[in-house]
Amino acid sequence: MMRSRYALYQVALALFVLLVPTLSRATGIIPEPNANAVSLATRSNPEILTLDARDAGRGLMTATMRIPVRPGPFTFVYPEWIPGEHGPTGPLADISQLRVSANGKPLTWRRDKVDMYAFHVEVPSGVTALRCSSRCWSIRRRRLSMST
């Protein structure tokens, strides 16, 4: 029971972290949140999250997102405020191998100069969705490492 509850917590956290990125179209420094921002996801062009937990026993999960976009500058922001945390301490250090591609071709992303949780990419013309993938170290693995 405890193990399944913990696994459910892990999946819920991964879904929250990956499904709720703050999306904004910005260049340079991240602007204040845009109250008029809307999701580009539609029934015919959905946002899709795939979580591969086959390596969960080793403390690793691979997350892949398909994010509907428009051509031009695009910024995605990893959440800083995670439920249960008492400050903006989202586990950014637990994410590795971030890859962004469009139509099967890798895109170069860059980290924001001010906000380390923000990543910028230029979406080429003709692209309607980005594919973002990363490896995530699980919380349990991190706690085990810290206790030894």
For residue 148, the surrounding DSSP H or E stretch is none
Q: What is the pLDDT of residues 72-117, one digit of tens each?
A: 998 888 777 777 777 777 666 777 888 999 999 999 999 888 888 8
Q: Which residues, at least 6 apart from 9, have a Cβ–Cβ distance to it below 8 Å?
A: none
> If pLDDT is split at 50, 70 and 90, which confidence band does 36 have?
very low
Amino acid 20: pLDDT:
47
Amino acid 125: pLDDT:
95
Our CA angle for 32, 108, 13, nearest 5°, is: 60
Give the Cα separation of 78 and 26 in Å (integer): 15
CATH number at residue 60: 2.60.40
> If pLDDT is split at 50, 70 and 90, which confidence band does 34 have?
very low
Q: Which residues, at least 6 apart from 1, have a Cβ–Cβ distance to it below 8 Å?
A: none
Amino acid 144: pLDDT:
46
Token pair, residue 79, equals 């959440």
Give the Cα separation of 100 and 128 in Å (integer): 14
> If pLDDT is split at 50, 70 and 90, which confidence band does 25 have?
very low
Name which residue leads in pLDDT, 75 or 29.
Answer: 75
CA 106 to chain centre: 17
Give yes or no for a contact between 24 and 73, defined as CB atoms under 8 angstroms apart.
no
Looking at the predicted structure, is the pLDDT value of residue 33 above 60?
Answer: no
Give yes or no for a contact between 120 and 95, defined as CB atoms under 8 angstroms apart.
no
Q: Which domain holds residue 112?
A: 2-147
Looking at the predicted structure, is the pLDDT value of residue 26 above 90?
Answer: no
Looking at the predicted structure, is the pLDDT value of residue 147 above 60?
Answer: no
Amino acid 8: pLDDT:
57
Amino acid 9: pLDDT:
60
Amino acid 24: pLDDT:
38
- Total of domains in the chain: 1
Average pLDDT, the chain: 75
Amino acid 50: pLDDT:
92
